Structure 1
Amino acid sequence: MAAAAAMTALVQAPPALAYDYMALGFGTMPCRYWLSDLRHEGEGNSWILGWWTGLDSRNDNHWVGSRTDGNGIILAVKHECQKQPDMLLMNVIDGVFKKMANPDK
């Protein structure tokens, strides 16, 4: 009887949230990791630009960040990371991307 009740609860449970992407690598680390060592800088910078490119390709406006260059994007991310060192690098990149995509907000 208990097994039937448990099975009914499983069938009626709401579906789990699903993400439409999987992130791997350097960006899944906190900002403090990227900022902790100059040896990490190059790997983090490459990851930032790759993640940015992916965000840009999925955005209606494929030119977010076009008023600067790769170094400008990296510096903007670094500025935010210094303020929020415990945030994941990918989340900080997302925030900077949104700010550049909607500068009036």
Structure 2
Amino acid sequence: MSDAPTLTIVIAPRARVQLITVDEWWREHRPEAPELIQLEFGEALEQLRTAPRSGVFVLGAPVPDLRRVLLVRTRYHVYYVFDEQRATVEIMAVWHAMRGRGPVLR
């Protein structure tokens, strides 16, 4: 049995809206794999729950200690902050990797 604290995953309101928007778009435009966004996002949450330091730091981010993980098949990034003291991972944004800029976080 592990003594590691259970991490709480929090999805910021802006990230929740982004995820809903992306999911709706994906379902309409990718009928061959309509649930892929939800599947990959769920896999990312499990990864962050077990390995919260697995994401790469976002250099020059307006939010301290911002990291991101890539949803490989859909090419979206999940931006998050890991707070070890509070044992939380806060999802800050869900943003396509091919956009020319990062998400607005403040």
TM-score under structure 1 length normalisation: 0.30
Larger strand proportion of the pair: 2
Higher share in helix: 1
Who wins on radius of gyration, i.e. which is larger? 1
**Higher RCO by CA contacts (8 Å cutoff, separation 6 or greater):** 1
TM-score (norm 2): 0.30
